[in-house]
Structures are given as structure tokens and as C-alpha cells.
């Protein structure tokens, strides 16, 4: 069950009812080091997995085997009545006890993150060799995804809506790998084993118990989301390439016909696997709003050493069949308001921005939309003609091309404005998005109005 990092995704099937997954069978085993050496045991003589039994003594079954719902875990924290100021308003509370302990662990292991993740996968595969085939042959890209997911979860541990949406998206997406509820205990065992070995300063009985509660909550949210999704959607779709338009030597517009209806919202993305690189999935945003003919359009840039992107740009042809995972992403338009949009698209990041413009047009909105389209040079603005045609069609749309000669895209945006009352959308390279978020915050755009699909990558390092 590859731990891929997703983002906060809005619900795309609103008529589905919640349904909890059946409880897992007892699978918890006491893991040993892959070298054959016993796991480090905290003072008190307990191995990490023993906490799964003892953390909730009123439960006869292991916590990982019978995960409790999210709302049941709150009694494990140290709760006090809310602090109230002189006006009777509840004052903001600090992080929960579990969040403090979890973040302290992550802060300690950050300098040795590579060793922690390598050890985690070694434990997982040695104790559960049947899981190895679910992962790509080359683990170079995969290795840091677990830690990114943990950092994201730790950062939002006390923000239930954000954490739940993030994990539900992960749970739905993991179905395409063949992940089942029975796989989660094995991951938990390997995770605690790796943390116990490397978090020597912060790891104790209390920290161990906090991690058990945290992982139990995480896994149950993902299991429930996958079970709910299974009722109405396939784990993946097959999609045939119907057209391949090479716009520049390294950028192609690929159009796909899925084998069954593919429900998504403008601004969302899919995960994609090619027949040339099995078990290697990459994210690509849809370049249009949902179309009546059901076709899907993606913009792909071939990047150095990018196996999937180079295959899609230089090898894929009409008739080839790819696999798609479920849609994800929170970069969608709120049609319950008429708030204006500020959109930053760098390189192929213009794809979901174009989809958002089409979505606003289809809904008949007349809200102002400003699109800043950035690239290294005018030649690299491969879709500028399309965007300028949209600008001529819709008077509420303003398109601003930006090249490196004019400065960085976020800096160019800040020369206009003010943007404090807009909903902001950013798509493009991680560095551009990171700078854009900082620039927009500095220009007065509230954080809750800034949307992008790099939740995990932009999660700050956890701290106590």
C-alpha cells in the first residue's frame, strides 16, 4: 500500500452515505529488526506494538485490529474545560497533548529522515514480503512520501476537518494499489518500530501511546473512506489516448477517453499509471471542466529523469491505454459566493486554471477573474492563445502573461491588486507555489482563501 501524499479534496459524489468499514482481523505481530536484532524496548520492558493492547485497557481487542472512530479517540487526550476570556468567549486552545508528543518525535527524526524511512520499509517488507509487489521497483521517489504524509497529519492533528479531508482523499486513492484494511496494521507496526529505533530522545511510554492513538485515528479514517468509495466507484479507470498534441519539444496535450464515466470537478487532478512503468503513479491536473463527451485533457511536461512524463510526451500515441486513479484536489470554485478569483498558473500549471475559468463561465458567473500565466519565455507560454481567446469571449476575465524578463510570477502579481477580497488559486512548480503563498499572504490575502495542491509539501516541520 504505497503511502502517496495527496491533498485536501472536496467530496465529488454528494449523494453517498457514510458507512463504516468492518473491523480488521487480528494481525498485529511483534516486529523484529530486519537484521534479526530485537527492537529497542523503552523503559518498562514493552515493545512498541504492546501499546496497541495497553493504551485502552477497557478494550479487549488490539486498537489497530479494531480501530476506534475518530470521535472516540478524543478521550485519550488530556482534556480541560475551555479557557474563557472576560467576555465569555472561549480562548484559542493550544495543541493537544498527543499533538505535542507526535510533533516532538517528528522534529527529532527530521535530521535522519532518510534512515527512518529506509528502516520503515525494510521492516515492512521483511515482515510482510507479499506487500513488496504493491510498490514500484525503484523506491527513490517513494521513500520520502511516508514522512511527508506524517508531517502533514501532525501539522493538522488538531484541525479535524482538514485532517479528515486529507486522509479521506488518501484512503480513496490507495484503493488503486490494491490496499485493504488488513494491510494497515502491518504499516503501523513498521512505523512504530522505525520511530522507536531513531527517536531515542523523545520516545517513551507516553509518546508511544500517543502514536498508537494517532495512527489508529489515521488508519480508521482512511479505511472508512475507502469502504465508502468502494460502494459507488471503481478502484481505477482504464483510459485510451485519443489524441496527442505536442505543443513544444517537451510539452504535450494528451486527451483521454475513460472506459466509464469519470466524475470530477474543475480544478481537480488525477493520478496516472502508464503501461511502460507499472506501479509508478503521477499526478496530472485536468485542463478543462467536465465535458459533455466525457473526454479528459491533460497537459504534460517532460522533466529530466521523469519516467512517466517522458513516456507521456515522447512515447504515448493514440490507442495506448493508461490507468487513472480517482480524482482529488481542493482547488475548486465555490459557486455559493460571487467572490472574485485570482489565479496563478506557472508552466503546465495553467491547465487547472483554464479549467476553473471554463467552470466559472459554465455557471454563468460574472465574478472578476484575473489569471497570471507565467513561464520562462514567450515561447513557453504554450497555451496563451487559448487563454487570450477566452479573455475576448468573457469580459470578466483578465489574462496577464508573465515571463522571467518581467520578474518572478508572484512578484508580478503583487504589482497589481489589491487582492485581499479574492479567492486565490496557485498551480505550478512547488517553488513557485511556495513563493506565491508567501507573497499573497504578504499582500493581505487571508490564508484560508489561498488554495493549492501542495498541502503535504508545504507543511512546516513539526515542532513541539
Specify burial of residue 337 (Cβ count, 10 A radius: 0-12, 13-18, 19+).
Answer: exposed
- Please give the Cα distance from 299 to 253 (Å, whole number): 5
- Please give the Cα distance from 296 to 323 (Å, whole number): 13
- Is the backbone of residue 294 left (phi > 0), alpha (psi -120 to 50) or beta? left
CA 332 to the chain's CA centroid: 15
Q: Per-residue pLDDT tens, the chain, 464 aa: give them.
A: 554 443 333 333 333 334 444 443 333 333 332 222 233 333 333 444 444 433 333 332 333 333 333 333 333 333 333 344 444 445 556 788 998 999 999 899 989 988 998 899 899 999 999 888 877 766 666 666 766 777 677 778 888 888 888 888 888 888 888 888 888 999 899 999 999 999 999 999 999 999 999 999 999 999 999 999 889 889 899 999 999 999 999 999 999 999 999 999 999 999 999 999 988 899 999 999 999 999 999 999 999 989 999 999 999 999 999 999 999 888 999 999 999 999 999 999 999 999 999 999 999 878 999 999 999 999 999 999 999 999 999 999 999 999 998 988 988 898 887 898 999 999 999 999 999 999 999 888 998 899 998 765 554 433 33
- Please give the Cα distance from 209 to 204 (Å, whole number): 9
- Please name the helix (run of DSSP H) or strand (run of DSSP E) that holds residue 38, with its range, or none: none
Beta strands across the sheet bearing 269-273: 281-285, 269-273, 321-324, 237-248, 251-258, 296-301
As a whole number of Å, the CA-based R_g of the chain is 23
pLDDT digits (tens, 9 = 90+) for 205-217: 999 999 999 999 9
pLDDT at 325: 93
CA dist 184 to 67, 179, 418, Å? Answer: 10, 9, 48
Side-chain half-sphere exposure of 45, counting CA atoms within 13 A? 0
All cell numbers assigned to 99: 499533538
Length of the chain in terms of residues written = 464
Q: Which residues have a Cβ under 8 Å from the Cβ of 288 and sit 6 or more positions away? A: 266, 296, 297, 354, 355, 358
CB 415 within 8 A of CB 431: no
Q: Return the residue matching grid coordinates 466507484.
A: 233
- The reported pTM is 0.68
All cell numbers assigned to 374: 507565467
**Facing residues of 256 across strands?**
241, 296
Written in H, E and C, the secondary structure of 61-87 is CCCCCCCCCHHHHHHHCCCCCCCECCC
CB 320 within 8 A of CB 242: no
**Facing residues of 69 across strands?**
none
- Please give the Cα distance from 147 to 155 (Å, whole number): 12
CB 344 within 8 A of CB 422: no
pLDDT at 39: 33
pLDDT at 287: 97
Kindly report the number of other CB atoms within 10 A of residue 188's CB atom.
Answer: 26
Amino acid at each position: 500500500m504505497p503511502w502517496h501524499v495527496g491533498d485536501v479534496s472536496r467530496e465529488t459524489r454528494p449523494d453517498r452515505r457514510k458507512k463504516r468499514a468492518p473491523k480488521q482481523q487480528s494481525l498485529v505481530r511483534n516486529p523484529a529488526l530486519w537484521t534479526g536484532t530485537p527492537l529497542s524496548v523503552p523503559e518498562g520492558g514493552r515493545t512498541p506494538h504492546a501499546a496497541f493492547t495497553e493504551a485502552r485497557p477497557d478494550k479487549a481487542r488490539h486498537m489497530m485490529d479494531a480501530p476506534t472512530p475518530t470521535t472516540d479517540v478524543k478521550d485519550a487526550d488530556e482534556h480541560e474545560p475551555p479557557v474563557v476570556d472576560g467576555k465569555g468567549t472561549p480562548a484559542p486552545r493550544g495543541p493537544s497533548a498527543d499533538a505535542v508528543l507526535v510533533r516532538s518525535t517528528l522534529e527529532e527524526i527530521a535530521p535522519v529522515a532518510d534512515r527512518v524511512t529506509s528502516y520503515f520499509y525494510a521492516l515492512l517488507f521483511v515482515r510482510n514480503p507479499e506487500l513488496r509487489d504493491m510498490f514500484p521497483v525503484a523506491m527513490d521517489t517513494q521513500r520520502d512520501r511516508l514522512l511527508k504524509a506524517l508531517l502533514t497529519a501532525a501539522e493538522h492533528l488538531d484541525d479535524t476537518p482538514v485532517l479528515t479531508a486529507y486522509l479521506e482523499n488518501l484512503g480513496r486513492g490507495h484503493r488503486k494499489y490494491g490496499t485493504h484494511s488488513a494491510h494497515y496494521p502491518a504499516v503501523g507496526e513498521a512505523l512504530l518500530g522505525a520511530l522507536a529505533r531513531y527517536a531515542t530522545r523523545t520516545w517513551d511510554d507516553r509518546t508511544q501511546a500517543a502514536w498508537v492513538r494517532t495512527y489508529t485515528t489515521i488508519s480508521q479514517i482512511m479505511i472508512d473512506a475507502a469502504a465508502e468509495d468502494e460502494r459507488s466507484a471503481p478502484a481505477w479507470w482504464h483510459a485510451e489516448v485519443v489524441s496527442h498534441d505536442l505543443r513544444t519539444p517537451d510539452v504535450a496535450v494528451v486527451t483521454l477517453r475513460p472506459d466509464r464515466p469519470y466524475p470530477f470537478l474543475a480544478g481537480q487532478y488525477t493520478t496516472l499509471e502508464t503501461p511502460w512503468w507499472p506501479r509508478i503513479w503521477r499526478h496530472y491536473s485536468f485542463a478543462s471542466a467536465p465535458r459533455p463527451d466525457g473526454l479528459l485533457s491533460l497537459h504534460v511536461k517532460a522533466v529530466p529523469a521523469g519516467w512517466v512524463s517522458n513516456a507521456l510526451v515522447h512515447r504515448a500515441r493514440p490507442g495506448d491505454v493508461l490507468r487513472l486513479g480517482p480524482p482529488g484536489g481542493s482547488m475548486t470554485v465555490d459557486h455559493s459566493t460571487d467572490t472574485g478569483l485570482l489565479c496563478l498558473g506557472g508552466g503546465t500549471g495553467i491547465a487547472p486554471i483554464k479549467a476553473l475559468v471554463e467552470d466559472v463561465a459554465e455557471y454563468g458567473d460574472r465574478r472578476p477573474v484575473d489569471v497570471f500565466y507565467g513561464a520562462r519565455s514567450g515561447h513557453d507560454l504554450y497555451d496563451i492563445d487559448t487563454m487570450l481567446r477566452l479573455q475576448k469571449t468573457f469580459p470578466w476575465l483578465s489574462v496577464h502573461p508573465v515571463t522571467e524578463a518581467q520578474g518572478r510570477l508572484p512578484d508580478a502579481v503583487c504589482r497589481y491588486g489589491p487582492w485581499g477580497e479574492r479567492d486565490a488559486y496557485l498551480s505550478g512548480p512547488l517553488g513557485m507555489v511556495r513563493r506565491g503563498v508567501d507573497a499573497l499572504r504578504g499582500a493581505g490575502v487571508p490564508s484560508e482563501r489561498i488554495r493549492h495542491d501542495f498541502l503535504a509539501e508545504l507543511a512546516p516541520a513539526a515542532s513541539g
